Amino acid sequence: MHDDRHDITLTVNGVGYSRRVESRMLLSDFIRHDLALAGTHVGCEHGVCGACTVLLDGEPVRSCLMLAVQANNHAISTVEGLAGKDGAYHPLQQAMHDHHGLQCGYCTPGILMTMSAFLDENSSPDENEVREALSGNLCRCTGYQNIVDAVLTAAARMRG
Amino acid sequence: MKPAPFKYIAATSLEQALALKAEHGDEAKFLAGGQSLIPAMNFRLARPAILIDINGIEALCGVRTSEATTRVGPLTRYRALQRDAAFVGLFPLIGEALPHIAHPQIRNRGTIGGNLSHADPASELPAIAVALRARLHVQSAKRARSVAAADFFVSALTTDLQPDEMLTEIELPLQSPRTGSCFMEVARRRGDFAIVGVAAQMTLDNHDACGDVRLSFCGVGETPVDASTAASILIGQSPTDDMLRDVAASVQTMIEPAGNVHATADYQRHVAGVLTERALRTAHQRAHDAR
């Protein structure tokens, strides 16, 4: 039992991977340690802080509350896949930069993944909707105001 | 903060999942959304030897409505219900409570059956299942049975489920016309566990009097608390503010909140009284406005 391993195949940011993982490996640790994609941050590891948020088949989920083996045959997106292939920022990344929406930056990857999926679903949110969508991501630096401003600006720019 | 070692099995059918549970009993846990189980495993509060992943069992997902009831598969995720306008239209009480359940990321994964089986006393859905008179269908490899929601919750984190059983369907009776409902809760922050939550539902009769009333609470006991008897003085009446105050007072004597680091028992009792009046008043108004 101490070596219960499984073969998994998945895509992360559109790139296919096949790996053998121990069943107790969390998806967050798999992404960081096995795939060396350290943009996904790990905060509380029990589903409270939201720093480890990734997209599972396009939906934001906490990667610390999933096993890597559960991601078998699924598509994961992480913060590394957010910018364009030419390196151009996603509009949300640009707006976070413009509005000073981060200080230490630890929560930022989770916030970018949560809010980019939110903007895909709701292209003209009001401030309350933004705050509600942001409720599962803790930030201890900014007081959230600049993050909310950034999301609203990104929404406006994405609407064109 | 990593789970202890376990053997992982992805079940592909209900029969397989139940056979595995029959074989391994309490040593094994079903893995549905994992939004309570995996944190408990990360803390090593839960150390199942075997994890039976039921996420691949399509038959356990989805909502089916017939003439008298709606049946919800246990693997249905909160988010799927939030997006199901027909379901939320049939059960606005659930629709109103869903945004209070944790956060968007949790609601994308968390399941109805997992929530009810976990039986957290501060959780919203158990109280709502009680208020809506849900019947919970349970299966093992050997037998199938059903339990009224009010009898399902035994104590904190403990249900009537036996070691070889799975909650396989949540059956919700369809509501009468002229029914209004209201869910409210007080929590320290959006998505936090409720200090007190209330589910109220009222049906008016042909004379505009209260014909049926349901009232239940989360966060104020070891299990969801069915306080419908406290509200039964409203039956046959057109509820007035005085009557609602009487119901609130009777709720306050009936519940036995334990208090916690965020709220004393007295404060919980106070909030429960205030929410009782507000929720019943709103449910009454909505029943009035319903056709």
DSSP E strands: which ranges in B86-152? 135-139, 144-148
Residue A10 is predicted with a pLDDT of: 98
CB atoms within 10 A of CB A88: 10
* Alpha-carbon separation of residue B40 from A64, B89, B154 (angstroms): 12, 34, 20
Mean pLDDT of chain A: 97
Just give the CATH number of B7-53. Answer: 3.30.43.10
Distance between CA atoms of A130 and B283, rounded to whole angstroms? 28
Distance between CA atoms of B121 and B77, rounded to whole angstroms? 20
Just give the CATH number of B179-289. Answer: 3.30.390.50
The residue ranges of every structural domain in chain B are 7-53, 63-173, 179-289
Q: Which residues pair with A92 in a beta bridge?
A: none
Residue B129 is predicted with a pLDDT of: 98
Residue A40 is predicted with a pLDDT of: 98
Q: How far is A54 from chain B (nearest CA, A)?
A: 9
| CATH number belonging to the domain at A5-81, selected among 3.30.300.30, 3.10.20.30, 3.30.70.120, 2.120.10.80 | 3.10.20.30
Fold of A91-159: DNA polymerase; domain 1 (1.10.150)
> Which residues of B fall within a CB distance of 8 Å from A72?
10
State the pLDDT confidence band at A3, using cuts at 50, 70 and 90: confident
> Which residues of B fall within a CB distance of 8 Å from A59?
79, 108
The residue ranges of every structural domain in chain A are 5-81, 91-159
pLDDT tens for the 291 residues of chain B, in order: 689 999 999 999 999 999 999 999 999 999 999 999 999 999 999 999 999 999 999 999 999 999 999 999 999 999 999 999 999 999 999 999 999 999 999 999 999 999 999 999 999 999 999 999 999 999 999 999 999 999 999 999 999 999 999 999 999 999 999 999 999 999 998 888 899 999 999 999 999 999 999 999 999 999 999 999 999 999 999 999 999 999 999 999 999 999 999 999 999 999 999 999 999 999 999 999 986
Q: Which ipTM was obtained for this model?
A: 0.95
Q: Which of residues 85-104 of A touch B (CB under 8 A)?
A: none
Would the CB atoms of A65 and B38 count as touching at under 8 Å? yes
State the pLDDT confidence band at A1, using cuts at 50, 70 and 90: low
Q: Which range among A38-42, A77-81, A108-112, B191-195 shows the weakest confidence by mean pLDDT? A: B191-195
Residue A2 is predicted with a pLDDT of: 61
Answer whether B38 touches A (CB < 8 Å): yes
Nearest to B8 among A4, A50, A132 (CB): A4
Q: How far is B98 from chain A (nearest CA, A)?
A: 13
Fold of B63-173: 3.30.465
Asked whether B255 and B148 are in contact (CB, 8 A), the reply is no
Report percent pLDDT > 90 for chain A: 98
User: Looking up tokens 């019947």, which residue turns up?
Assistant: B135
